[in-house]
Amino acid sequence: MIIVSPLSIGLAAGAAAVVVGAGVAVYRRLRRKTDPVELERLRRVGLGRTGRITTGEVTGLIEPEGPGTALLLVYRYGIGGVNYEVTQDVSTLSAVAAEAARLVGRTISVKYEMKHPTNSIVICEEWSGIRGVSLSQSDPATPLVHGTFSPGESELESGG
């Protein structure tokens, strides 16, 4: 029969805690920090793939006042009797940025998250809810749109 003293159990537990703590510290130091721009791109693409579609209208445009400020497209839509007015930063989506001034007053399709209807997009790297605005294959940051829907049209109706 082997007798283990409480001191040796405590030392082993302490050593294990030090090793785990050092491992966590190394992991945190070496892991890649996600850029806020990349997080926003991932949000748009995810919503573009899974969001529900409704009809909306572009109500305004907030243009950048200086370097480092965003070009914001203001739009509104209604879901279940509740009206939402939100903005989307379209400065990284060159196809929309070029047409932004002509979009005010136009009817659009909006993709939104069912559980959080304020989480919505008008356009992303893989989907466009703006009729006549598609993303160019020549711009590597914005691949070709997989499906563009007219207001009230579903993915099944458009074949996308």
Which residues, 6 or more positions from 80, have their beta carbon under 8 angstroms from its beta carbon?
Answer: 117
pLDDT tens digits for range 73-93: 999 999 999 999 999 998 888
The pair phi, psi for residue 154, each rounded to 5°, is -100, 170
pLDDT of residue 34: 76
Q: Which CATH number is correct for 36-158, 3.40.50, 3.30.450, 1.10.405, 2.40.50?
A: 2.40.50
Full-prediction pTM beyond 0.85?
no
pLDDT digits (tens, 9 = 90+) for 100-154: 889 999 999 999 999 999 999 999 999 999 988 776 533 444 333 333 333 344 3
Distance CA 8, CA 10 (A): 5
Q: Where are the domains of the chain?
A: 1-31, 36-158
